[in-house]
Amino acid sequence: MWHKIYYLISHFTWIFGLGFLVSLGVWGTRKRTSHHKVAKREWDDAVAKKMNEPISLHPEIDPSLCGGCGACVAACPEGEIIKLLNHRAQLIEPAKCVGHGQCQAACPFDAIQLVFGTKTRGMELPKIDGNFQTNVPGMYISGELGGMGLIRNAVKQGKLAAEHATKNLRPGIAAQFDVLVIGAGPAGLSAGLVCAMKKTKYMVIEQNKFGGTIYNFPKQKVVMSYPLDLPMVGSYKFKANKVSKEELLSLWHHVRKQANLQLKEECRFVNLQKKGDLFEVETSSGTITAQKVILGMGVRGTPRKLGLPNEELAKVTYNLLDPDQYQQKWVAVVGGGNAGVECAQYLAKASLKNKVFLLVRGPSFDRCNDENQTIILDMEKKGLVQICYNTSVDAIEADHLMVKRDGKIIRLQNDFLFVFAGAIMPFAFLKSIGVQIETKYGEPVKAG
Ligand SMILES: Cc1cc2nc3c(=O)[nH]c(=O)nc-3n(C[C@H](O)[C@H](O)[C@H](O)COP(=O)(O)OP(=O)(O)OC[C@H]3O[C@@H](n4cnc5c(N)ncnc54)[C@H](O)[C@@H]3O)c2cc1C
Ligand code: SF4
């Protein structure tokens, strides 16, 4: 009996092995084909929704270098922006890219670079060199004002700009400060910390409160961030790359205290002039002179408005600080990007008992990551929010909104209107202080 079994095994093992390998091959091919089909469907979908054309910053994949390993697909934290199609990585929904750059870091073949704009669709940006210096010698731009969003990028760029700005300072120049940093968001904080480490005479000025855009995030907002390389602190990692607004601000405040950061809040930068070797900077608290200036002002200073009569009513607002202030209200949120979708999520929490309408201009969400889309669609299923696509506000009234949906005018009861239509880039202002604005047609990101 045993030697019969042994005989069967020893003579037929190769058949079993072959069978197993063939099944594995068939399973693998089927799996690849089904992934391919999904990717193809998503690509067609993106073309139909006009999400296939990158809007601003996005990865560019060189198909001649791509080995088809898919490392980039797995690396992107925003969801399915890149997928494998015909064994090559392809951008599926580039319009969702916010510039994490994780795909670029993950690619073992150096097949990816981050670029601004495309050959056919230019993107306007202030002209800066690899050290974040503008065409005006001694004037730097770092953080979101330079075209790249995200806290981590702002911290990195503020650091690099300040490292360069603090080099070659000329002694004997009658300026109050060696370096003046404008804006106390992540870029400004990071730049200020470098200045403190280098023991330069510096000042950070901020028109509002320390913290930048993060200060205006909704209470308890979950902020997503890969490790930050904060000057003085070193690499700072958050659990699962997530941190609450409050924890992040508390870290900021701790670092500010440790570094004894020279910071003047509620001091607004108004204008500047270069006079010889120094900048004369006009602020709401008087004129400040400095050898070098780092602009870390972000882009949220001027939110894009709807341009409608009655927009100045107190019920119309452009950010959400404390969702708990709004209970049992009729609320409309304009915006299909992450900011609008997150605002609707906070306001539609069941405990608040609000009636929430999310008004999305196009037929689908716009630059909104998969996680936020899943959450809001789930809330819609539970009846917590009503998502209105192809809808825009036509008129604002004290207790109502007139909205246009697929060409039809609908009257909505309304107590509060939240508008998240992006921000106006302060290019006219930058030009007025001498900074050149250039249009990028698919040029790689220099640094950051
Ligand atoms: C709703 C929302 C959610 C986001 N979520 C995330 C996230 O989860 N993860 C992530 O990494 N990024 C996120 N971001 C993006 C991130 O907040 C920004 O990219 C980052 O804050 C940019 O940093 P910054 O220092 O360049 O500018 P900011 O943080 O905008 O700081 C600029 C500072 O400059 C000040 N300032 C402007 N003009 C003047 C002036 N004239 N005088 C003096 N001061 C001035 C402003 O008051 C502000 O404090 C989000 C953004 C928004 C709007
Ligand atoms: S990681 Fe690089 S080689 Fe691998 S699929 Fe992505 S682009 Fe291609």
- Whether residue 13 is contained in a domain is answered as no
CATH of the domain at 33: 3.30.70.20
Task: State which of 35, 58, 62, 66 you would mutate to test the pocket of ligand 2, scoring each by most atoms of that ligand within 8 A of its C-beta.
Answer: 66
Pair 385, 357: CB distance under 8 Å? yes
- Taking only the tens place, the pLDDT of each residue in 210-230 is 999 999 899 888 898 888 889
- Taking only the tens place, the pLDDT of each residue in 65-124 is 999 999 999 988 877 789 998 889 998 888 778 778 889 999 999 999 888 888 887 888
- Taking only the tens place, the pLDDT of each residue in 271-313 is 999 998 899 999 999 999 999 999 999 998 778 999 999 999 9
Pair 162, 181: CB distance under 8 Å? yes
- 301 pocket-lining for ligand 1 (C-beta < 6 Å): yes
129, 257: one domain: yes
295, 333: one domain: no
The band of 359, judged by pLDDT with boundaries at 50, 70 and 90, is very high
- Checking if the pLDDT of 47 tops 80, the result is no
- Compute the distance from residue 441 Cα to the ligand 1 centre, in Å: 25
336, 383: one domain: yes
- Checking if the pLDDT of 12 tops 70, the result is no
Among 116, 139, 167, residue at a domain's last position: 116
Among 116, 146, 167, residue at a domain's last position: 116
| Closest ligand, as measured to the CA of 266 | 1
- Compute the distance from residue 212 Cα to the ligand 1 centre, in Å: 5
- Whether residue 17 is contained in a domain is answered as no
Task: Kindly give the number of the ligand 2 atom that is closest to the alpha carbon of 61.
Answer: 7
CATH of the domain at 359: 3.50.50.60
What is the CA 132 to chain-centroid distance, rounded? 19
| Closest ligand, as measured to the CA of 272 | 1
Nearest C-alpha neighbor of 377 from the set 362, 405, 358: 358
Distance CA 301, CA 196 (A): 26
- 81 pocket-lining for ligand 1 (C-beta < 6 Å): no
Residue whose CA is closest, atom 26 of ligand 1? 143
What per-residue confidence (pLDDT) applies to 311? 96
- Whether residue 75 is contained in a domain is answered as yes
Instruction: Please tell me what DSSP assigns to residue 106.
Output: H
286, 415: one domain: no
Q: Which residues contact 240 (CB under 8 A, 6 or more apart)?
A: none
- Whether residue 430 is contained in a domain is answered as yes
107, 188: one domain: no
Distance CA 288, CA 242 (A): 38
93, 67: one domain: yes
* Token digits of residue 91: 């951008």
What per-residue confidence (pLDDT) applies to 248? 94
Among 116, 139, 154, residue at a domain's last position: 116
- 372 pocket-lining for ligand 1 (C-beta < 6 Å): no
Domain that holds residue 86: 29-116
The total domain count for the chain is 3
Query: Residue 308 burial by CB count (10 A; 0-12/13-18/19+): exposed, middle or buried?
Result: middle
Residues contacting ligand 2 via CB (< 6 Å): 61, 66-72, 89, 106-107, 109, 111-112
Mean pLDDT, residues 333-341 taken together: 94
